[in-house]
Amino acid sequence: MGVFVLPSSAFGVLLPHFPVVSLGTPRGQFHLVLGSSSNRKRKNLLTGNWQCRPRIVAASNRDNSKDNVTDDEDGSLLGSYEMLEMKEDELVEARRALSEVKARQAALEKEREQLLEDFASSEAKQKEYVASVLHDKELAVSELESTKSLFHQKLQESVKEKFALESKLVLARQDAVELAVQVEKLAEVAFRQATSHILEDAKLRISAAETLAAESAFQIDEQIRKSTEGTIFSIIEESKDAINKALDVAENAIDEATQAVAVFTDAVNPIDVIASAQSENIKLQGAVSDLEAQLLVSESELDRLKLELQQAQVQANAAELRSSNAEKALLEFQELSRKKALEQEEEIRSLLEKIKKEAVERKKALSKAFKAELESIKAAVDASKEITCSRDNAYMRRCEALQRSLRTSESALKMWRQRAEMAQSLLLKERSEKEDDEDVIYIANGGRIDLLTDDDSQKWKLLSYGPRKEIPQWMARRIRSIRPKFPPRKTDISKALNSSFKSLELPKLDEVWSIAQEKLREGDMLTEHVIEKEVIEKKRKALERALQRKTVKWKRIPEETKIEPGTGTGREIVFQGFNWESWRRQWYQELAFKAADLSHSGITAVWLPPPTQSVAPQGYMPSDLYNLNSSYGSVEDLKSCIEEMHSQELLALGDIVLNHRCAHKQSPNGVWNIFGGKLAWGPEAIVCDDPNFQGHGNPSSGDIFHAAPNIDHSQHFVRKDVKEWLYWLRNDIGYDGWRLDFVRGFSGTFVKEYIEASNPAFAIGEYWDSMAYEHGNLCYNQDAHRQRIVNWINATGGTSSAFDVTTKGILHSALHDQYWRLIDPQGKPTGVMGWWPSRACTFLENHDTGSTQGHWPFPRDKLTQGYAYILTHPGTPVIFYDHFYEFGIRDVLTELIEARRRAGIHCRSSVKIYHANTEGYVAQVGNMLVIKLGHFDWNPSKENQLDGRWQKFIDKGADYQIWLRQ
């Protein structure tokens, strides 16, 4: 279409020239046709109801509004107005352009919604990917945990197998000690090497896998987070900007179209409207072009974001690949570790099977060797017995030869006596002739002159050999027992020297030969014979003891197991390892040196002195309970002594004072009732009925000890502190059990609580009560006395033993030909031993009754008889230090301990009393031992109720005799 130019004269004003018609209807533009039309046409323009036929529209001047514009057949304009003609299709084009704008806007809206959907989907994919990564991570962690649990399970199974192996090896060690020790060490070394290697390898691999998985997961999370956050934020921001700009342009276009339509509606000046419309059209075109450019930019940005998303996906795929590789490596590691574990298990099993086979073979070999050795030992014992018999026969032949020589000497004695009489008669004749020394009478030597006249006589041997070392008492006793017919010493030599009769050259006292008091000299046949016999006897006893110990080790006796807490194994023999004066020396060091000797003698437990710092040096007035530096030595000495006891398989019993405690400070009113040290108690820890120390606690549950504050054990804090102290002594210091001092001062229920808290191997309570006397004599019935002790034991719930003071008091009188006191009306032993033997600790003396205190000493001449009674009867016997090391009866005690061990007597052994009268006492203890006390004639063959063969083991004449069953 062409361009129409309106002359300025047609409108009465000068108008600028501008195009009205579109140049080919560019994209996004629309055309307006102005002219005089009716309201219907305006409405059609607004509503879009355009007619198809062409029309000619004429516009009139505002000043000449009455002029009409009509159609001319010739097509020319009428009047002074110039008509503008435009086709209706341009309006259609404008409408189409507007609809295209709306369509573009809708497309932008759809694209925005699509972008939001893509963003939401990418977010969902990201979440899914993160969830999958986390799930994979959890799976990897769970796999690692399952691997760890499987490994720990295998390790526990290996440990259980190890413990089972160790138990089997312990049993093997019981059968063959040396072999079992070697096998156990080998098994432990092999198992430790294998398990340590497996553990180290598995730990290293697991830690490497965990580190790799954690690093890869962290890198993947960081990359995904950074890429997604940057992409999402940039997309959201650019989309928001583009959408806002598009919305602004669309709103502006709608406003312009509305204004254009309003021009037609309100009859606004069309020139202004056209000008404004054209300017707005230009602006709209610029905005549209800007929007298109921004859309292109956003599309390029979207492409860039897609590329980055693809790169992120590639990185995520790479991370997923690495994660899968890590999983594969983890699976390979698990498979490899499983294979290695199986291989190690197979190796260990094969090694254990090999060790077991070797152990069985060695066990068989050792059993054969042991049997052979046992046979050889038996053969050696038989040979030694034969040698002993032969030596005894030789000795008897020697004695017969000596007797023959004595008879020969006696026959020669007669001749010398005749010669002496002749010499005496000659001397008397000479004296009567000279008449000098009328009161002197010479007599013959009476059989000893022959020893003085020969150069080879015994006198010259004794004088030439010089002094000899003193003969020991045991040797003298042995020599006396084998010289019944040797010449006796002259008992009247001193009288002869001091009398008025003068004999021929009588020897001096040290020149007279007597085999009973001859001093030892190397080379004497008799001395060598006696010594050799003693050595053989000692070797025989040592062999028997060694065999017995091995037999007990290999064949465990069920009764040796711990039955109840108060009795230990039931076979304890307690040794009181101190007396009242032991504090004057470094006692712990001295006692430690005696541990090996005590163990070899058969002692099983040693009662040590009170360890606590004390006001009195003996230790029975304790102050600071945690201070163990006492008069007996330092705490280091105490620990060393206990360690030495344990090395010799001895129990260490601590002497514990719980009834009372000495205070450190005075109260404001001058009473010593403030305690110091770690247990800083006050008057509330002292019983209120203690008359001397003004306690604020509850009344005492026992008797009052007046020398020190009595502790109130009903207080919870007191019991708590005492239990902690006992636990410390038990675990840190090393004590195995307790001797409880003065338990009459508090209830046995507290003792039960303390023993259950400290769990000692053995416990003894000192419940010392007065016995019943009538007219100065001990009453026969002492049931009330032993009932009080039994009541205290019962209050402890049977967790503690008690000293059998009743038996000690009865033995004082019974061993003086009153053996009828040793049986009660029910036929049982008197004392606690007869009622509750497993809780009775029998004794003769201790640091209070004997030693330098001597409150109630046992009769000295009845000590061996008393120990023969308590060491062969049930209960737990206690041996006093002074008796064992200072009274010279150690061999007697060792022999009695050996008899108790051989007979298998324990604290619950049965007692059957056959005789108990003024003449003596006879009882069978268990099934293996019979003891007789007293001087009456008795042996097992005279007892109809005793069956079996019995051999005398100890014979002390009128004191006691012991038989063991063959």
Catalytic residues: 741, 766
Q: How far apart are CA 335 and CA 331, in angstroms?
A: 6
* CA proximity to 625, closest of 687, 663, 677, 666: 677
Say if CB 308 and CB 212 are below 8 A apart. Answer: no
Q: How far apart are CA 205 and CA 148, in angstroms?
A: 11
What SS3 state is found at 956?
Answer: coil
Query: Which class for 671: exposed (0-12), middle (13-18), buried (19 or more C-beta within 10 A)?
Result: middle
Identity of the residue numbered 192: R
Q: How far apart are CA 346 and CA 350, in angstroms?
A: 6
Sequence-ordered list of residues with C-beta below 8 angstroms from that of 261, at least 6 positions apart, any chain: 45, 46
| Token code pair at residue 148 | 């760890």
Sequence-ordered list of residues with C-beta below 8 angstroms from that of 141, at least 6 positions apart, any chain: 213
Say if CB 824 and CB 830 are below 8 A apart. Answer: yes
Q: How far apart are CA 829 and CA 913, in angstroms?
A: 8
* Sequence-ordered alpha helix ranges (H) in 2-87: 39-47
Whose structure tokens read 């109630």? 856
Q: How far apart are CA 431 and CA 933, in angstroms?
A: 63
Sequence-ordered list of residues with C-beta below 8 angstroms from that of 221, at least 6 positions apart, any chain: 130, 133
Q: How far apart are CA 108 and CA 113, in angstroms?
A: 8
What SS3 state is found at 923?
Answer: strand
Look at phi and psi of residue 19 and say left if phi exceeds 0, alpha if psi is from -120 to 50, else beta. Answer: beta
Q: How far apart are CA 882 and CA 889, in angstroms?
A: 10
Please state, in angstroms and as integers, the Cα–Cα distance from residue 72 to each residue in 35, 75, 76, 77, 533, following that order.
17, 5, 6, 7, 178
Please state, in angstroms and as integers, the Cα–Cα distance from residue 387 to each residue in 390, 546, 592, 952, following that order.
5, 21, 40, 22
Q: How far apart are CA 58 and CA 471, in angstroms?
A: 174
